[in-house]
Amino acid sequence: MSSRLESSVYGSRMKRAAAAARSAGLHALLITPGPDLQYLLGSRADSFERLTCLVVPADGAPVVVVPRLELAGLRPSAAEDLGLAVHDWVDGVDPYALVASLLTSPARTGISDTMPALHALPLAAECGAPQVLATPVLRELRMRKDSAELDALRRAGAAIDRVHARMGEWLRAGRTEAEVGADIGAAIVAEGHTAAEFIIVGSGPHGADPHHEVSERVIERGDVVVVDIGGPVEPGYFSDSTRTYCLGEPAPEVAAKYAVLQRAQQAGLDAVRPGVRAEQVDAACREVLAAEGLADAFVHRTGHGIGLSVHEEPYIVGGNGIELTEGMAFSIEPGIYFAGSWGARIEDIVLVTADGCEPVNVRPHALTVLPG
């Protein structure tokens, strides 16, 4: 490696990735545009039919293979700033053979899980050995955030909190979910995100669908509305926060069940500290709901890791025995869903600290009552 690369955060990530590939028995990692490339190279690039691929050999210097016409798109990135070797190729050249020529043959490689089949299959054929996903190799690195990454997640959390704080400006009876969603989307960008990645406005019965987006449904007085929103802030780290609103005072049954949900989410927050297993945090939320007869209303895992991807390791789910360590970042987002009727969810992103967790979302957890 060049000395500039050696001394950079990306150089050190690539070095650790190479070491992890070596211990996994792989000859190289092949990383196409996406969050893994962003993590290792500081460039998200774009994925098209022409191959862009970072080759991280278990032994030797990393190389980026890129179509000549995409060279500009790689800037600014580690490739240019740090003196990483770049092999550009022009139309008519076989880029898969070019990648294989950089490796021993046959080469056991780990590929990024977002690599399109368009590239994965020809690469496998050229490398002459079975490929595996690079995910298990890279998750050990990506799961434990450094201080710059944690700061980016804090900035993302504060930005999405500012959007939730303004919800009363847009969320009103008589408007459609889509109209409210459009205003939220503009605010997500105005408050510092580079884009609105997802906007869920689940009003009334739509709140019972955890992955509802927006629709033409007209929001009514008395509706419970689940608002789950997020997007990336520079350099690509995501926010993701859910609050539940009620247009007018909630019915007693809604208030009672919501109070249980709020206790469940708090139990999840309270369970987080280094050494605790991911599944224990999931169980902490689930037990509170189960004790009040709401076990069946909670139809998904408690949370997911977050960083350069909205959903990544560690998953906070039953059966995941991974121990939490300082620097991990994930959501705690229990929900309760009543098909055809209503739903509610509370979601914060938390950072694991030395003795607990630091939520990056600090908006009040209570059901927020807006004027009907």
Closest Cα to residue 58, out of 23, 101, 28?
A: 28
| Cα 126 from Cα 100, distance rounded (Å) | 6
116: cis peptide before it, omega within 30°? no
Nearer to Zn ion among residue 33 and residue 185 (C-beta): 185
Nearer to Zn ion among residue 36 and residue 228 (C-beta): 228
CB of 160 to Zn ion, least distance (A): 10
Closest Cα to residue 349, out of 265, 291, 244, 284?
A: 265
CB of 147 to Zn ion, least distance (A): 23
21, HSE (Cβ side, Cα atoms, 13 Å): 29
| Cα 291 from Cα 294, distance rounded (Å) | 7
CB of 258 to Zn ion, least distance (A): 17
Give backbone dihedrals phi and psi of 36, rounded to 5 degrees, phi first: -65, -40
Nearer to Zn ion among residue 32 and residue 242 (C-beta): 242
CA triple 333-339-343, angle to 5 deg: 35
Are residues 222 and 372 in contact, defined by beta-carbon separation less than 8 angstroms? Answer: yes
Nearer to Zn ion among residue 57 and residue 202 (C-beta): 202
CB of 230 to Zn ion, least distance (A): 6
CB of 137 to Zn ion, least distance (A): 24
Nearer to Zn ion among residue 228 and residue 279 (C-beta): 228
Interface residues with Zn ion (CB under 5 A)? 228, 240, 242, 331, 347
